[in-house]
């Protein structure tokens, strides 16, 4: 089992070298409270979701998003396959041995079967943290339309664990087995998006608003595993053969002082700054349409994050494509060779550049509202039914469709209750809940798209929360 443990650590290390919104990523608190709905966002909150909704047929002509009184922050960290109870049972429980030392739980055959069942569809761990630094919207007149400006930071990562890893770890070195790790995925980035948005209503097409955003994107780091086709074969006499086939890229701002093992430059301590020099840049576009069908029903359509990012500063490539042979766990040379061929550790080099797509996604919604000009009053409500689809699997995006139903109900003129359900996509299922407070000049929102985890924390798979504020004049 020691041999299996070392191989497992090496495989995890190869994926852990260190989601725009897309179809799945975290967003503003109102949207999060309605199941990550997009069509329910208006004014400044619509940037990045549907720019057509920047224009509003209301008396509110100016909006500001500032760090005060409540910063605009959303956070989502967790997995889509394992609960806290499961983790504590299989990985967190300690048993005191006869020697007084702590040991992990010894799994029964039933335990192993249940753990494999948890991993049967694979397992992904992710994080998505968004912070909107500033936002400004001005609507000089209805005929002119609305213009908006915002700056948003996003830290996103997605790690998909290979199904063969758990089989290898649980079953040990069974003879004549083949373990393939091609389903392993890992991507992470830090992006800063500066958006310029314009939206207006067209008199010739009454009830139709059209909007577009130009997004200037600065990337401060990127890590991406392009492929892992590593395969291990177990034979008799504890012999392991196979191949290490691995390709990954990374790019970091020079201000972080990241030093690669193949780089001869003097080592400096890692440093962090809120305004680093970008290692990648790109331009993206959002397009949106909102059309009234009747006084109460409308439809909304948008495509977001069309574009790519070119990373051209300190771009490193790590690769391996070599045979694997291991028959002696005590042979340091064999272990070192195994680690190298699994991770590409000694095959790193600088390359000129790489290009990554943004998290391009499509969104379509049917909206019902019995509010006049989206102004809150007691007993009024807004309801949405939406479809989301990501065109790639960049951080914050997912190619499996997601359907959302959400509701915003005005308990009073000031307090609004939001809730919704999201089915499909990365999360598979979530129940959202939140509150909004309309104080006239100031709006404050708080919510979570996974409120089921709040009322049943031991069954939680992830932690999600969003809060924000907006000034309106």
Domain range list for the chain = 2-81+119-472
**Which positions ≥6 away from 103 have C-beta within 8 Å?**
94, 95, 96, 97
> Which secondary-structure segment (H or E) carries 2?
helix 2-15
The CATH class for the domain spanning 2-81+119-472 reads mainly beta
Per-residue pLDDT of the chain (473 residues; tens, 9 = 90+): 334 333 333 333 333 333 346 777 778 899 999 999 999 889 999 999 999 999 987 656 899 999 999 999 998 888 888 888 888 887 776 666 667 677 667 778 888 888 888 877 667 888 888 999 999 999 988 889 999 999 999 998 888 888 887 777 777 667 888 888 888 889 999 999 999 999 998 866 668 999 999 999 999 999 999 988 888 888 877 788 888 888 999 999 999 998 888 888 777 887 888 889 999 999 999 999 999 898 899 999 999 999 999 999 999 999 888 888 877 766 777 777 777 776 666 788 999 999 999 999 999 999 999 876 556 677 789 999 999 999 998 888 888 899 999 999 999 989 999 999 999 987 888 999 999 999 989 999 999 999 988 888 778 888 889 999 999 98
- Distance, in Å, from the CA atom of 152 to the CA atom of 25, rounded to the nearest integer, reads 13
- Distance, in Å, from the CA atom of 465 to the CA atom of 33, rounded to the nearest integer, reads 9
Among residues 137, 93, 242, 225, the alpha carbon closest in space to that of 180 is found at 242
Rounded to a whole number of angstroms, the distance between the first and last alpha carbons of the chain is: 66
Residue 335: phi and psi, rounded to 5, are -65, -45
Q: pTM for this one?
A: 0.85
């Amino acid at each position: 089992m020691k041999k299996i443990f070392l191989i497992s650590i090496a495989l995890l290390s190869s994926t852990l070298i260190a989601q725009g919104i897309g179809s799945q990523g975290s967003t503003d608190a109102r949207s999060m409270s309605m199941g990550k709905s997009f069509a329910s966002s208006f004014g400044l909150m619509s940037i990045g979701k549907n720019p057509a909704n920047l224009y509003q047929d209301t008396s509110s002509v100016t909006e500001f998003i500032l760090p005060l009184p409540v910063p605009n922050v959303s956070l989502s960290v967790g997995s889509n396959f394992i609960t806290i109870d499961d983790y504590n049972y299989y990985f967190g429980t300690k048993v005191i041995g006869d020697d007084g030392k702590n040991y992990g739980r010894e799994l029964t055959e039933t335990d192993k079967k249940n753990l494999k069942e948890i991993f049967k569809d694979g397992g992904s761990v992710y994080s998505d943290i968004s912070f909107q630094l500033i936002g400004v919207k001005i609507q000089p007149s209805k005929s002119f339309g609305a213009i908006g400006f915002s700056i948003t930071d996003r830290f996103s990562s997605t790690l998909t664990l290979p199904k063969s890893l758990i089989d290898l770890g649980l079953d040990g070195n069974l003879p004549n087995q083949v373990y393939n790790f091609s389903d392993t995925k890992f991507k992470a980035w830090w992006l800063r998006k500066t958006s310029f948005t314009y939206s207006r209503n067209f008199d010739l097409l009454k009830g139709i608003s059209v909007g577009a955003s130009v997004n200037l994107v600065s990337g401060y780091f990127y890590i991406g595993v392009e492929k892992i086709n590593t395969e291990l074969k177990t034979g008799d006499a504890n012999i392991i053969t196979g191949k290490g086939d691995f390709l990954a890229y990374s790019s970091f701002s020079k201000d972080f002082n990241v030093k690669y093992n193949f780089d001869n430059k003097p080592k400096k301590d890692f440093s962090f700054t809120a305004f680093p020099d970008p290692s990648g840049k790109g331009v993206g576009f959002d397009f949106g349409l909102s059309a009234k069908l009747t006084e109460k029903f409308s439809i909304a359509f948008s495509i977001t994050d069309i574009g790519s990012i070119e990373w051209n500063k300190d771009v490193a490539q790590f690769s391996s494509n070599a045979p694997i042979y291991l028959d002696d766990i005590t042979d340091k040379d064999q272990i070192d060779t195994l680690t190298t061929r699994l991770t590409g550790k000694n095959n790193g080099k600088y390359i000129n550049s790489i290009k990554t797509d943004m998290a391009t996604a499509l969104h379509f919604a049917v909206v019902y509202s019995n509010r006049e000009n989206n102004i809150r009053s007691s007993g009024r409500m807004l309801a949405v039914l939406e479809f989301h689809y990501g065109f790639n699997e960049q951080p914050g995006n997912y190619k499996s469709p997601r359907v959302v139903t959400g509701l915003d109900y005005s308990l009073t003129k000031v307090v609004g209750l939001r809730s919704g359900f999201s089915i499909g996509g990365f999360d598979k299922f979530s129940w959202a809940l939140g509150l909004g407070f309309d104080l006239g000049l100031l709006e404050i929102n708080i919510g979570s798209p996974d409120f089921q985890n709040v009322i049943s924390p031991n069954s939680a798979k992830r932690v999600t929360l969003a809060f924000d504020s907006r000034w309106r004049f």
